[in-house]
Amino acid sequence: MAIKLDQRILKTLPLEEESTRTRYADSIVQGLYVEVLPASMPGGELRKVWRLRYRTTSGERKWLTLGTWPATSVDAARSEARRVIGDVEKGADPAAERTAMKKAATIAELWLQFKELHGPHLRPTTIKGYQDQYRAHIEGAFGSSKIQSLTREAIARWHRKISETAPTSANYALRVLSTLLARAEEWGHIPLGTNPAKLVKQNKAKKKHRPLNTEESHLVGSTITLLAKEGKISAQVAAALRLLLLTGCRRGEIAGLKWVEVNLDSGCIVLGEDDASDHKTKDHLGTKTIFLGPAALQILEELAGQRLSSFVFPGSREGLPMSPMTINRGWDLVRKKAGILDARLHDLRHTVGAMAGATLPAFMVQTILGHKQPSTTSRYAKPIDSATEQAVHNLQRQIAANLGL
């Protein structure tokens, strides 16, 4: 027999003798019950739980827990029951969905799957960057969350919170999370096209392009020489900084440079010829040839005479190259001494690009810097190598003169 349940009646509903549970039906909403259970502790109050019984579109009868009384009031239980019944009439099965959610993978489990299945396709520096962002920002916020439970609003709030102190890192973390969820779509954790991070807006990035002018290049050259003479930066760091400004290479290309990639006889560096050799745009452009002018060749010849490792710039740990952060620390000392605090290490590459762009065609600048754009045609323009080599020699002579080399 159904009862018109209210707060007063709920207080007095008993548990039948020798019973583990007693159900009382609500007369207002069909299928809604309050279930009376034994107290959690001896002498405690009986527990009362709201339960809804419904029939799926396939005819299967199921139970769904809606909450406990008094935390969930009579009115709230009825309102939730009506909402669920409406969903069931549209074909939903909330009990099955709840069970699936309990079994669903968490973001932490997705990360492990990502490293196993997708990690081998990424460059080591890329997966390390992803791992750093995951540990710093994603794991604590969403690691234990079910993949299906993430919402665009929750991700936007998380991104905004990080942005208050680290807007650039917030964008990086958002890209990593979006990549994880894109793989979750591919692997069937969530439906295709439902990545909740995809439409979260990133912070506007300020374009940073700050090449050194001629006077600053002179100053940088003399400062590197002075700091190396004073022992404040090592000869290896000084050589790495000079090569960065002479060649326009990326920091990682110089820090991880191997002797097998250096051809002193031909006057060039070739990156990406085999699996052990790598550079940022290898997947798009294949090998990357870096032509060396007399000053750059002299630096490498001097280093070759002191060769102690397979790496041109060996690190403090045997078998590993110099850490890129070691070069960063050296540059920080140089720019502070030179009074150009706004010049970043990557601006040495911008300096080469700006000087090359002032006199050389765009396709030559692309070849010098190893950009994957513009156009795929330039990737195959092998006849330009000789002209580019001569242009690079002239360019490096000018930079070497600025550096006092």
Q: What is the pLDDT of residue 41?
A: 78
Place of tokens 């590993």: 320
Which parts of the chain register pLDDT below 70?
1, 99-103, 207, 273-286, 358-368, 371-388
Do 7-101 and 214-403 fold alike per CATH?
no
> Which pTM was predicted?
0.54
Distance CA 25, CA 137 (A): 48
List pLDDT tens digits, range 355-375. Answer: 777 666 665 666 667 766 554
CA distance 161 to 354: 37
* 24 SS3 class: strand
The CATH class for the domain spanning 214-403 reads mainly alpha
Question: Where on the phi/psi map is residue 254: left (φ > 0), alpha (ψ -120 to 50), or beta?
Answer: alpha
- What's at 371, amino acid-wise? H
pLDDT digits (tens, 9 = 90+) for 282-316: 455 567 888 898 999 999 999 988 887 899 999 88
Give the Å distances, CA to CA, from 132 to 172, 242, 349. 10, 29, 25
Q: Give the Å distances, CA to CA, from 357 to 213, 354, 390.
A: 14, 5, 15
Per-residue model confidence (pLDDT) at position 364: 67
- Check residue 161 and give its pLDDT: 95
| CATH topology (fold) of 7-101 | Double Stranded RNA Binding Domain (3.30.160)
Listed by start position, the domains of the chain span: 7-101, 107-186, 214-403
> Which distant-in-sequence residues (6+ apart) come within 8 Å of 39 by Cβ?
45, 46, 47
- Whether 255 and 248 have beta carbons less than 8 Å apart is answered as no
Residue 404: which region, alpha, beta or left (left: phi > 0; alpha: psi -120 to 50)? Answer: left
Q: From residue 37, give the alpha-carbon distance in Å to each of 47, 65, 94.
A: 5, 13, 23
| Distance (Å, whole) CA 103 – CA 95 | 13
Which alpha helices (DSSP H) does 90-233 contain, by range? 94-103, 107-117, 124-133, 139-142, 152-163, 167-186, 214-229
